[in-house]
Amino acid sequence: MKKLLLLGILLFQYLSFAQEHAWVYLTDKENVAASIANPILILTQNAIDRKADKNIPIDERDVPVNENYITQLKSETGIIVMAKSKWFNAVYVIGLEEVNISDLMDLDFVESIDFANKQLNAESRIALNNNKFEIEESLIDFDYGNTLNQVEMIGVDHLHLSDYTGEGVVVAVLDAGFPNVDTIDAFQRLRDNDDLLGGYDFVSRNSNVYEYDGNEHGTRVLSDMAGFIQDEFVGTAPDASYYLFRTEDSSGEMPVEESYWVEAAERADSLGVHIINSSLGYRVFDNDNYSYMPSDMNGTTAFITKGANIANEKGILVVNSAGNSGNSDWQIVGAPADASGVLSIGAVDSDGNYASFSSRGDANQPTQKPDVVARGASAAVVNSSNEIISNSGTSFSSPIMAGGIASLWQALPDATNEEIKQYVRMSASQYNTPDFFLGFGIPNLELALDIGLSLSEEEFVRFKVFPNPVSNSLNVQIPTSSEPTNLKIYTMLGKLVLEKNITKSESILDLSSMASGVYMMSFESNIGSKTFKLIKS
């Protein structure tokens, strides 16, 4: 026992004072062709069925990392392997010294190394104050109307009345701890229906996701989707099925948490998960050298952002909190919510007004952010003591929306993840005039269902504009069956700068008189609508 304790102390000291973190990218994988030809070797049947149903190809990214390479990395001097990613064919390592990591390039199976300290990759970072969860809480004498507000606000109560409560939809929750989910009354319905599918702790590398790890954030987040207390509390998808994955290390902020997240997303994909809810965001770390800059929230830079986009490509609908930086110097949406493939969720209060803490969009981001909003100010949640309390943060607007989407997807089982996201956006309160505060606004999931039943993917994706960014001449293509089509261009503050009725399937617009900047372009026709983010150079 003393030896184990001593080893634990030494390991703690090693980790605490380890000088460098890095992603090590590998050259190849083994048995790729055989694995793709016989995917049951690498994926569950549920995952194979989901991909086949949605026409998602099984490719080399689904093949696991070569375990022999990982074994060799573990044997290298001064190296600890913390996480791995099959999508990136990469391993996250900690090196006692920079040279320990640099020396890995001598291994013939190492393709490249990306240090978390970007100064070692000829880039610089700045550090800002970080408050990821930004939760305010107070015990309340719960009134069912308070839960009803966050459900009614997005119209999911109408789906529930039609018996669309998430049944058959599988959700993975990537978060911090989930203490007492296996015991408290709020999740009894979930357990009785065998909808609690288990999970994994990627931080501690075990299956004890229900133990208290210093944080119960995951329990509260889960309650807004899966919680049920008769006559007191109903989550937005009480009959969906859930995997719980701990990816957040509450003891500090390290970029390895991005790798834990990606690893969990890969596990979710292999299990056939439909939706990921992630009430997490990454901007700055305990080591200032590893921190991101606001300009890095561009949808392409952060490791976790790139992983979230791959999850989207794999057919998973990724729902992520926008962040709680609206009142800080940072202000903008963080990673992975900045990813173009992620449905990022901002926060409003009970009256539908912008919550000042909710992170905002930015012209630097490739798509409209946030996408939509839900209640996040004083939202009702259940804590690990089975108490109904009030919490504030986009951490809770995200699961409220994710659960609503699970109920919607049950009603539209043939839809793809991209179609579901578009139906949600199209149903939102300011779809034609989005901004950086509320995005497309507050969705009405009853309307989203109607839209989904009346539109097909072919109908709403055939509106095209190019080039984008545009200098002077913009090419516009519309479905020939949708004459006439009303085109409007707005500034990001909602000012209408151009309106035109288009009757030809292909047209060229002269935008030379428009000032440089970011605009929103909306199409409305007799078969549907679509909105584009337009950049005028």
Q: Where are the domains of the chain?
A: 2-29+64-121, 137-454, 459-536
Number of C-beta neighbours around residue 276 at 10 A: 27
CA-wise closest residue to 414 among 456, 462, 459, 450: 456
User: Domain 137-454 carries which CATH code?
Assistant: 3.40.50.200
- The dihedral built from the CA positions of residue 398, 55, 367 and 496, taken in this order, carries a sign that is negative
Please give the pLDDT value at position 54. Answer: 86
Pick the catalytic residue: 217, 241, 291, 321? 217
Q: What is the DSSP letter of 295?
A: G
Token pair of 105 as six digits: 């390039």
Please give the pLDDT value at position 126. Answer: 29
| Helical segments of 201-342, H only | 217-226, 256-270, 303-313
- E-strand stretches of 74-176: 79-85, 90-95, 110-115, 137-139, 170-175
| 8 A C-beta contact, residue 304 and residue 35 | no
| 8 A C-beta contact, residue 265 and residue 276 | yes
Token pair of 226 as six digits: 């899966």
Is 213 an active-site residue? no
Helix or strand or coil: residue 534?
strand
Domain 459-536: state its class: mainly beta
Pick the catalytic residue: 175, 239, 296, 435? 175
Is 223 an active-site residue? no
Domain 2-29+64-121: state its class: alpha beta
What is each CA distance from 95 to 67, 100, 172, 482, in whole angstroms? 19, 6, 31, 60
CA-wise closest residue to 418 among 55, 130, 105: 55
Number of C-beta neighbours around residue 317 at 10 A: 28
Token pair of 344 as six digits: 């990022």
Please give the pLDDT value at position 2. Answer: 36
Indicate the residue type of 191.
R
Pick the catalytic residue: 223, 395, 427, 482? 395
Distance CA(422)–CA(457), nearest Å, equals 9
Alpha carbon 503 to chain centroid distance? Answer: 38
Alpha carbon 493 to chain centroid distance? Answer: 26
CA-wise closest residue to 224 among 56, 5, 390, 11: 390
Q: In the chain, which residues have pLDDT < 70?
A: 1-18, 122-145, 455-463, 479-483, 492-493, 526-529, 532
- Those residues whose C-beta lies under 8 Å from the C-beta of residue 525, and which sit 6 or more positions away, are 478, 479, 482, 483, 484, 485, 486
Helix or strand or coil: residue 157?
helix
Is 395 an active-site residue? yes
Helix or strand or coil: residue 450?
helix
Please give the pLDDT value at position 145. Answer: 59
Helix or strand or coil: residue 280?
coil
